[in-house]
Chains A and B, each alone.
Chain A
Amino acid sequence: MSSGSQNGMQGRLDQLASTLEERFSDLSCQVERSCGEVTLVVPTDKLIEVANTLHDDDEFGFNELIDVCGVDYADYGSSEWQTDGAPNTGFGRGVAEQAGDELEQNRRFAAVYHLLSISNNTRLRLRVFVDTDQPIVASVVPVWAAANWFEREAFDLYGILFDGHPDLRRILTDYGFIGHPFRKDFPLIGQVEMRYDETQARVIYEPVSIDPRTLVPRVTREDNRYLNEDDTTQDAADA
Chain B
Amino acid sequence: MPEIRNYTLNFGPQHPAAHGVLRLVLEMDGEVIERADPHIGLLHRATEKLAESKPYNQSIPYMDRLDYVSMMCNEHGYVAAIEKLLGVEVPVRAQYIRTMFDEITRILNHLMWLGTHALDVGAMTVFLYAFREREDLMDCYEAVSGARMHAAYYRPGGVYRDLPEKMPQYQASQWVTGRDVASRNETRQGSLLDFIEDFVNRFPGLVDEYETLLTDNRIWKQRTVGIGVVSPERALQLGFTGPMLRGSGIAWDLRKKQSYAAYDKVDFDIPVGQNGDCYDRYLVRISELRESTRIIKQCIDWLRANPGPVMLDDHKIAAPSRDEMKDDMEGLIHHFKLFTEGYCPPEGEVYAAVEAPKGEFGCYIVSDGANKPYRLKIRAPGFSHLAAMDEMVNGHMLADVVAVIGTMDVVFGEIDR
Contacts and interface: CB of A to CB of B under 8 A. Distances in A.
A9 B260 CA distance: 12
Nearest to B377: A69
Contacts of A69: 364, 377
Contacts of B238: 145-146
Given A67-B364, A216-B55, A146 B387 contact: yes
B369 A77 contact: yes
Contacts of A181: 46, 49
A129 to B, nearest CB: 14
Contacts of B417: 172
A56 to B, nearest CB: 13
Interface string A49-71: 00000000000000111110101
A33 B221 CA distance: 50
A182 B353 CA distance: 23
B40 A221 contact: no
Interface stretch (B194-202, B292-300, B328-336, B342-350): B342-350
Q: Quick one: which of A35, A79, A148, A150 has the most chain B CB within 10 A?
A: A35
A223 B346 contact: yes
Contacts of B241: 66
B408 interface: no
Interface string B244-277: 0000001010000111110011000000000000
A172 B416 contact: yes
A91 interface: no
A63 B236 contact: yes
B389 to A, nearest CB: 10
A64 B234 CA distance: 10
Contacts of A112: 364, 377
A219 B341 CA distance: 8
B142 interface: no
A42 to B, nearest CB: 16
Nearest to B376: A69
Given A35-B85, A66-B360, A219-B344, A174 B374 contact: no
A206 interface: no
Interface string B373-394: 0110101000110110000000
A172 B377 contact: no
Contact of B41 (A34, A75, A171, A229): A171
B351 A219 contact: no
A172 B364 contact: no
A36 B40 CA distance: 35
Given A173-B41, A216-B340, A65 B239 contact: yes
A149 interface: yes
Given A5-B264, A171-B40, A35 B384 contact: no
8 contacts: A34-B348, A67-B362, A69-B364, A125-B349, A150-B384, A172-B417, A181-B46, A221-B371
Interface of B: 40-41, 44, 46, 48-50, 53-55, 58, 84-85, 87, 236-239, 241, 250, 252, 257-261, 264-265, 316, 340-342, 344, 346-351, 353, 360, 362, 364, 366, 368-372, 374-375, 377, 379, 383-384, 386-387, 416-417
- Closest 9 pairs (CB-CB, A-B): A146-B239, A172-B41, A226-B346, A149-B387, A69-B377, A67-B379, A172-B44, A220-B370, A221-B344
